Structure 1
């Protein structure tokens, strides 16, 4: 069995890891760490886990032994704590943004904090699970992608990789549920502020913008900048990303749809919807699926791609488990075959 620890155990990302890993046939949850709740029953924070015996533990324990640790923490935490585990030859899968950006100056610009040492950033493997290649023999640190980048990059990868779009034309209009903000209190996620409201936020300065651009730039081998506007909608879970791109040559919906099907023929968690059908966030809720719909406006040679995920699963904990599976040589889908929750 693969023994795992979870840091940041009182957050939404952690409780999703617990939910999914509890059914993983090759994993044992050994530690759930929380600095503020050490010694307390996990079910005291999450009563729906009342049947599970876990207690929160302190990271000050110097006798931690396991195979891998997940960091389901806000940014500016894992970069300080992960080296302790790496030094003990414990692998780390980081769900925060601390190791995603390779350029320290860009991290400091968008996160407002000092970046991790360059050596740590260089050693971290950024892993969109459908497209990364993980060499288990020399990978110690995985940077799990953010939720907006996951929904967006799965939609854009086939377009940029096949060189069929003008790379300077990418417009990303994305919406997220409020759970993406985590459990911390903030005015904009109070019920009276968020309910019956719809708002754009962090325009031009969202932390996920440089992450999207870094991946696409590496894929295209040329500098790519995108227009990215995130929105907060009054729902708990889900991301819907609507992406607009200009095609280089005349293309039909049928041919673009066939191309997406070819790219994801062997990807169990990416479902390309039928022509004329566009996904909704509720159709992937609670699951590790990314559903993608494709349309080409032949009058102006513009493609519109709609991509949806559950931000807490495919956008965080589910993809982290996919990366765990890849890291330990398991089938990518192991422990992740839950159907979406509907309605």
Structure 2
């Protein structure tokens, strides 16, 4: 089966290439860019010196004629323009941007400050949180790959909502940190070495675009079907290259115990190979998922406050982007979910 990548020179596109080069069934047919076409991929990517592929223009019809799947690893606002052309062609689409995730009219424009994709296409797109939407993903033609912060946060919260321990009125506080690669490949003042080195920054305070995405999915899981209480969600940049840690605080509706919660999480994710639940009293670090498609979760209960603390870690470029996109592609094409992704994290 053949795949094409639009936005092949960004961090997400390059990570797709890294994994697809070792995929047993999905083979790269073409690589596309809006600004560097005609050049060799390895000209500005020395780690890919062994690859001689030429970057091509973005021609949806030509891509559809030669590939089974196209990954749109583009910045927000680009996929929404391309998706109309691809939706009329015989090709499956996996969009890594945020352009197709938000279903409520007006939400995308409010949070992303860009023009939304056509409403019928947004409604057709399936949210690709693989562990929780397998059936719909397998039957989809367009997949909205979840955001990186959203993936870590939602995988951490899902067992509490689906088991009825959390209600729509529950107060949720998510304190999230990311490596600098989460800001993308284009240089900026905030990612400049002298600004970021030995520094720790909060950004987009109460304004991050993953807020409505998380609330949307929590609303789908909420068993009392009431509108979700707005979450408190803030993000920070850490002077490291990769990784996300989401530390989540939520009050549950009955007394529980740390042991009960660990059992709940282990039972919930026992058939999901990429989610690893920590033993009682243990909590994950970003290093233990580095370069991999794993999400590691630790959970505990504070009897004094009646709140649950969940710690969820992922590699933002893998489980938070390219790895999850390939996981979705595997499901979409009827392949083993772990195909091409069953790699140990890089260590040390």
Deviations 1:35-86 (A, max 9, x none): 2111111111211111122111111475332101001111000111122222
TM-score (norm 2): 0.96
Map 1:74-113 → 2, pairs under 5 A: 74-113=75-114
Map 1:150-229 → 2, pairs under 5 A: 150-167=151-168, 168-220=170-222, 221-224=225-228, 225-229=230-234
Q: Helix, strand or coil for the counterpart of 1:98?
A: coil
Do the aligned partners of 1:10 and 1:34 also contact (CA within 8 Å) in 2?
A: yes
- Cα distance in 2 for partners of 1:87, 1:134 equals 23
| 1:12 CA drift (Å) | 0.3
**Range moving further from structure 2, 11-20 or 98-107:** 98-107
Paired position in structure 2 for 1:44: 43
Instruction: Say which of 238, 241, 247 aligns to 1:236.
Output: 241
Paired position in structure 2 for 1:303: 308
TM-score (norm 1): 0.97
CA shift in 2, pair 1:138/1:83, >3 Å: farther
Do the aligned partners of 2:243 and 2:315 also contact (CA within 8 Å) in 1?
A: yes
Do the aligned partners of 1:135 and 1:327 also contact (CA within 8 Å) in 2?
A: no
Aligned residues: 342
Map 1:246-325 → 2, pairs under 5 A: 246-325=251-330
- Cα distance in 1 for partners of 2:69, 2:50 equals 24
Do the aligned partners of 1:279 and 1:291 also contact (CA within 8 Å) in 2?
A: yes
Deviations 1:254-284 (A, max 9, x none): 0011000000001100000111111000110
Deviations 1:139-198 (A, max 9, x none): 211000000000000010000111113443111000001101111121111111111111
- Cα distance in 2 for partners of 1:138, 1:340 equals 30
| 1:104 CA drift (Å) | 2.9
Aligned: 1:71 with 2:72 = yes
Paired position in structure 2 for 1:59: 58
Do the aligned partners of 2:261 and 2:299 also contact (CA within 8 Å) in 1?
A: yes
| 1:137 CA drift (Å) | 7.5
**Range moving further from structure 2, 192-201 or 321-330:** 192-201
Q: Helix, strand or coil for the counterpart of 2:81?
A: helix
- Cα distance in 1 for partners of 2:312, 2:51 equals 35
Give unpaired runs (5+ residues) of structure 1: none
- Cα distance in 2 for partners of 1:141, 1:214 equals 18
CA shift in 2, pair 1:86/1:296, >3 Å: same
| 1:252 CA drift (Å) | 0.7
Aligned: 1:124 with 2:125 = yes
- Cα distance in 2 for partners of 1:136, 1:89 equals 17
